[in-house]
Structure 1
Amino acid sequence: MDLSRRLDAAGRVVVVSPHFDDAVLSLGGLIAARAGRGQAVEVLTVFSAEGAGRDGGKRQKAFSDYASRISEDDRALSTLGARARRLGLFERLFRDPPPRGPLALFRTSADLARGAYTETVARTIRGLLNSESTLVLAPLGIGNHVDHVIVAVGALTAARGDPRILFYEDFNALSERNRRRHPVSRLRPFPYRSAPGRASPGIGLEMEAMSLLARGPDATELAGLPVRREQWSMSAFPLSNALETLKLRAIAEYRTQTKALGGEQRLREILRRAHAVRGGEPVWRFQPS
């Protein structure tokens, strides 16, 4: 896949992000590079509406402060030169029934494929592609987070071989065990010893534990899309020192999220290792036989 050629041909690049930080964590360098070339770059955050307040502990209280989270997102995307768009759906943390602990966020079911949220995502992506010059990048749903899987199923349903939809690896793909659980990313494995999560043992161990405890079908299964090796190809978008610095500066704006992910310094260590080991930011293309 000639990723640079595809990006150059696009009049507009839209990165679909499940939550506020996901697009920047995965593709911050690519976003900054395309915006720096003068292309119109938008980040469409799917789960971006303020959830109903619940007494669910410190984590929910921190993530329910949507005024702060939206401001963080505005600053981060401004750093990269991208425009913010928001779909306004409620993230799983604030949907009924209330999740029974953090593990519930990583348990998927067949109902996701038939849900209204999945259809909303698919319909939205089809609408984006009404413009012939638009290129869409969506997550693969690696790591089994329910919200990520919903977005991935919607994108895979909308794609069906459209060359204007590409897929990126979610943050949880920084665990090689998570990558090898997903039918697409496991097509291009990296050595376990090079897993970026090893740069920060605390975060790495947490991601490994989640990969063992996650349950349920992945996005390709839910979308009814059997994975064949010859249909998928991966390229890495290379990052210069300047692009990596911009990406890390943007990530630092997500203070609500960086605390939950182990802190800014640890994230920097993990992401720098990921860029070095994987040659940049991985992007996948689906092409039917």
Structure 2
Amino acid sequence: MGHSAMLLGFTWLVMINSIGFAAVLPMNHIIENSISDESTFRAGSEKNTAKYELKDWVMVKATPSDPIRVPPGGRVELECTVFGSPVPQAQWNRGIQLNQITLGPNEFEDSGEFQSVGKVTVRHVIDCIQPHHQGVYTCSGQARDQTMASDPVAISIEGRPVQCASGKTRIVKWSPIITQMIGSTVVIPCVVTDTAPYRQYWKDNFGNIIDTENDSRRKLGPEGELILNNLSWSDMGEYTCVAENAISRDNTSTFLYPMLPNV
């Protein structure tokens, strides 16, 4: 595994612990080194006899964590952020069980080497809550075979009914940060929920709207995700997903960081 990927693992561990994520795996599960007594490691050295193995890992944090009480017709929004390697999948589920997330056949490549690290945020939005929505909800995170669930969040329907608000365009899944190897294909998620027609588009790392219909390397996926082929160093930066309808607008940003291949 290359120096950059190894150092990235330690950096992510510090970042995760600093913002209050519950660590579900020990440090040696994230980076397990098998350095013998004779091995040495020097920063900046071109040769390194140390061998490192990066393990899959996942961490989950959901908000709010306290029980929610809302009148009929009110609005509820649950949010969950998942860290992991490879870039994880995340979803909200009804109930308290840890649900396995249904993945496509090529969702996670099994190359045996470091592929990616990322953070995914998902929202569960109920615009006009009704008694049948009452119950507990759990967020599940999955990075390849590693899975974890948040503490359950309880929703209670109480009080006098209120008038349902008009539904707003809302992005319910995105990735605040993705780190992936140069030369790979990157999928930057952006899932939108809206009962009315809406427009969705992406801005690149220079703030320009991406022409996904005519761009040979950057395409729009079936769920609004940006698919970027053959990742290069020049692709580094912030990408913005925008969704808007006649009365509302929402946007989220992803910082994309390309990494050099393992050496």
Q: What is the TM-score with the length of structure 2 in the denominator?
A: 0.29
Greater relative CO (CA pairs within 8 A, separation 6+): 1
Bigger CA radius of gyration: 2
Larger helix proportion, structure 1 or 2?
1
